[in-house]
Amino acid sequence: MSPRTPVPRPKPSGAALPDEIFAGFAGAPMQARNAPGPLTEERARAVLATVPDPEIPSVMLPDLGVIRGVEVTGDAVTVRMSPTYTGCPATDLMQMMIREQLTATGFASVTVDLVLSPPWSSDDITAEGRRKMAAAGIAPPAHRATDKRHLTGTLPDVACPHCGSADTVMTSAFGATACKALWRCNACQEPFDYFKCI
Amino acid sequence: MACSIPLPPPGHPRKYPEMGGREGGEGWNRRQKKATPMNASADHNDALFRYLLRLGDTSHILCHRLGEWCGHGPIMEEDIALTNVALDLIGQARLFYQYAGEVEGKGRTEDDLAFLRPERDFNNLLLVEQPNGDYAKTMARQFLFDAWNLLLFRALERSTDARIAEIAAKAVKEITYHRRHSSGWVIRMGDGTEESRTRIVAAFEQLMGFTAEFFHMDDVDRQMAEVGIGPDLESLRDPWMADVEAVLAEATLDWPTATWSVLGGRHEGRHTEHLGYLLAEMQSTQRQFPGLNW
């Protein structure tokens, strides 16, 4: 038996996670967090712009439209966040990641408040968020949540995120996460995720 | 019925307020006792607490039933669909339990309310505790419930209680999606093969009698309706019947012939034999290892 090298233990909660954990997420500008400077709202927002949706890592939380407000008082920051779905298991993780990143930036007190009203809608996803989603192979919501077709249950025309064809079909109304459905492209035969319009 | 839920070890610090009932104290049978005079605000809070538990328990128990399908769905897409619906339901149940715990003001958490109350303290609809059966029965149960739940939550969106209104506004979007899924399966099975039709007809015959509870009001419901927190449940009956009839018609099905009906779960905690077994399984970890966390 070869001698075991000690496995590094995770630090107790409250300590910052090492950069490597987030380094794999595309487009996360880590310098926003580490650059020295005063603790302003702008700074806090720049840090939030590096926190990814745990289930769609290329989309950052502000892109997803879940950040409802940021308030900085001295070295304390309060972030208001709205969950996408009531039971979304990523909600807890998002709160934890926000807390960790802002603590690492130097904020002494970080509060993440969950707000339900007005309810989050897929309309809150920014243009940048939709672009990043499509680039990750996830078709963004095809129309607005207030669209009448949504009420009648008519299926939207969803463009394939791989080849752009409109010849697509829904294979399952529910997908790998609460926010997605499963679709397939008849042109390139590839399956893909569709971000539900809600 | 016999209860197999283990008691906490002697001298364990964890408090079980509801267990006191077994010695005749304040506890599970408090509903049988004549209410002692309280001031108006305490009385309102008690009614609101019970009303919230009814909402939370119904979502929670149906969530557990749907979770039983995890890994056993007839096709992968449906396995995923049911667990997705279950996820929305547990999210809704948590919001109601958290609020109920605050209203009660005795320091009980959402977990205490979910895992440390016995059968007689659960106020879910009898319909949602019915066993899954085959997929036709699961979908018939889901559709009857979704159609009603959507109407209820649309009404709750206008609740005078801001917290309930915002939970409802969030949940309505999810329930709309659930109803579309379950109604689709009712239509597909009713207007499908001889086999699927026979099964869905049998399912509606078995379940329709439990829907009487949707519209039955007691003092708590009336009290909540008077102050605009909840709707008059009777007012949901016509739109619900219209919705169910329209879907049954599209599924080429007739209204079930069964004429029996039963009440008791949502108001009094009198359940069918199935809930006890469900709770014994769901609560077993917290009962054996009180306060266990991960």
Q: Structure tokens of A196?
A: 């539900």
- The predicted pLDDT at position A148 comes to 61
Distances (CA, A) of A129 to A24, A132, A155: 18, 5, 22
The number of domains in chain B is 1
Distances (CA, A) of A153 to A124, B33, B164, B172: 21, 49, 26, 15
Measuring CA to CA, which residue among A110, A114, A97, A86 is closest to residue A60? A97
The reply to whether B7 falls in a domain is: no
Domain's final residue, options A114, A144, A174: A114
The reply to whether B3 falls in a domain is: no
- The predicted pLDDT at position B24 comes to 37
Query: Is A86 an 8 Å CB contact of chain B?
Result: yes
Domain CATH number, residue B247: 1.20.1260.10
- The predicted pLDDT at position A15 comes to 45
Same domain assignment for residues A72 and A46 = yes
Best mutation target, A91, A113, A114, A116, to test chain B (most B CBs within 10 A):
A116
Structural domain that includes position A64: 20-114
A87 vs B94: CB contact, 8 Å cut-off? yes
Same domain assignment for residues A80 and A42 = yes
* pLDDT tops 80 at residue A76: yes
The reply to whether B57 falls in a domain is: yes
**Do residues A169 and A181 lie in contact, with contact meaning Cβ atoms separated by under 8 Å?**
no
B84 vs A174: CB contact, 8 Å cut-off? yes
Best mutation target, A115, A174, A195, to test chain B (most B CBs within 10 A):
A174
**Do residues A197 and A140 lie in contact, with contact meaning Cβ atoms separated by under 8 Å?**
no
Per the prediction, chain B carries an average pLDDT of 88
Measuring CA to CA, which residue among B184, B188, B203, B77 is closest to residue B132? B203
What distance in Å separates the CA atoms of residue B230 and residue B133, rounded to the nearest whole number?
32
Same domain assignment for residues A109 and A129 = no
- The predicted pLDDT at position B60 comes to 97
Residue A144 banded pLDDT, cuts 50, 70, 90: confident
Same domain assignment for residues A108 and A130 = no
Measuring CA to CA, which residue among A74, A84, A87, A81 is closest to residue A111? A81
* pLDDT tops 70 at residue A100: yes
- The predicted pLDDT at position B34 comes to 45
Using one digit for the tens of pLDDT, what is the confidence trace for A2-53? Answer: 455 555 554 444 444 445 444 444 444 454 555 567 889 999 999 999 999 9
* Contact list, A156 vs chain B (CB under 8 Å): none
Residue B213 banded pLDDT, cuts 50, 70, 90: very high
Query: Is A173 an 8 Å CB contact of chain B?
Result: yes
Q: Structure tokens of B68?
A: 């039983």
Backbone angles phi, psi at A109, to 5 degrees: -135, 125
* pLDDT tops 70 at residue B15: no
Distances (CA, A) of B203 to B63, B127, B130, B226: 19, 12, 11, 36
Structural domain that includes position B82: 39-288
Total number of residues shown for chain A: 198
* CB-count burial class (<10 Å; 0-12, 13-18, 19+) for B244: buried
A68: enclosing H helix or E strand: strand A67-73
A86 vs B166: CB contact, 8 Å cut-off? no
* pLDDT tops 50 at residue A139: yes
Same domain assignment for residues A159 and A136 = yes
- The predicted pLDDT at position A35 comes to 59
**Do residues B64 and B275 lie in contact, with contact meaning Cβ atoms separated by under 8 Å?**
no
Domain's final residue, options A86, A114, A142: A114
Same domain assignment for residues A74 and A132 = no
Domain's final residue, options A114, A132, A155: A114
ipTM of this complex prediction, to 2 decimal places: 0.73
Same domain assignment for residues A129 and A43 = no
Using one digit for the tens of pLDDT, what is the confidence trace for A175-198? Answer: 888 888 999 999 999 999 998 888
The reply to whether B202 falls in a domain is: yes
The reply to whether A14 falls in a domain is: no
Q: Structure tokens of A62?
A: 């502000």
CA B61 to chain centroid, in Å, comes to: 5
Please tell me the distance in Å from B67's CA to the nearest CA on chain A.
14
- From the list A89, A120, A153, the residue facing B180 with the nearest CB is A153
Please tell me the distance in Å from A195's CA to the nearest CA on chain B.
14
The reply to whether A12 falls in a domain is: no
The reply to whether B126 falls in a domain is: yes
- The predicted pLDDT at position A33 comes to 55
* Contact list, A174 vs chain B (CB under 8 Å): 77, 80-81, 84-85, 181
B287 in helix, strand or coil?
A: helix
Please tell me the distance in Å from B277's CA to the nearest CA on chain A.
25
Same domain assignment for residues A107 and A45 = yes
Same domain assignment for residues A33 and A78 = yes
* Contact list, B80 vs chain A (CB under 8 Å): 172, 174-176, 182
- The predicted pLDDT at position B167 comes to 95
Same domain assignment for residues A98 and A131 = no
Q: pLDDT exceeding 70 applies to what percent of chain B? A: 87
B32 in helix, strand or coil?
A: helix
- The predicted pLDDT at position A6 comes to 54
Q: What are the residues facing A168 on neighbouring strands?
A: A185
Q: Structure tokens of A81?
A: 């966040």
- The predicted pLDDT at position B227 comes to 95
Using one digit for the tens of pLDDT, what is the confidence trace for B143-178? Answer: 999 999 999 999 999 999 999 999 999 999 999 999
- The predicted pLDDT at position B31 comes to 45
The reply to whether A153 falls in a domain is: yes
**Do residues A62 and A48 lie in contact, with contact meaning Cβ atoms separated by under 8 Å?**
yes
Same domain assignment for residues A98 and A158 = no
- From the list B80, B91, B173, the residue facing A172 with the nearest CB is B80
Using one digit for the tens of pLDDT, what is the confidence trace for B87-143? Answer: 999 999 999 999 999 999 999 999 999 999 999 999 999 999 999 999 999 999 999
Residue A142 banded pLDDT, cuts 50, 70, 90: confident
Q: What is the pTM of this model?
A: 0.81
The number of domains in chain A is 2
| Alpha helix positions (H), chain B | 40-67, 76-104, 110-115, 126-129, 135-156, 162-190, 194-207, 219-226, 237-250, 265-268, 274-288
What distance in Å separates the CA atoms of residue A147 and residue B259, rounded to the nearest whole number?
41
Using one digit for the tens of pLDDT, what is the confidence trace for B255-280? Answer: 999 899 999 999 999 999 999 999 99
**Do residues B118 and B279 lie in contact, with contact meaning Cβ atoms separated by under 8 Å?**
yes
- From the list B80, B91, B177, the residue facing A86 with the nearest CB is B91
- The predicted pLDDT at position A146 comes to 67
Q: pLDDT exceeding 90 applies to what percent of chain B? A: 82
Measuring CA to CA, which residue among B190, B206, B233 is closest to residue B58? B233
What distance in Å separates the CA atoms of residue B197 and residue A20, rounded to the nearest whole number?
56
Q: pLDDT exceeding 70 applies to what percent of chain A? A: 77
- The predicted pLDDT at position A150 comes to 57
Using one digit for the tens of pLDDT, what is the confidence trace for B19-70? Answer: 333 333 344 444 444 444 557 788 999 999 999 999 999 999 999 999 999 9
Residue A89 banded pLDDT, cuts 50, 70, 90: confident
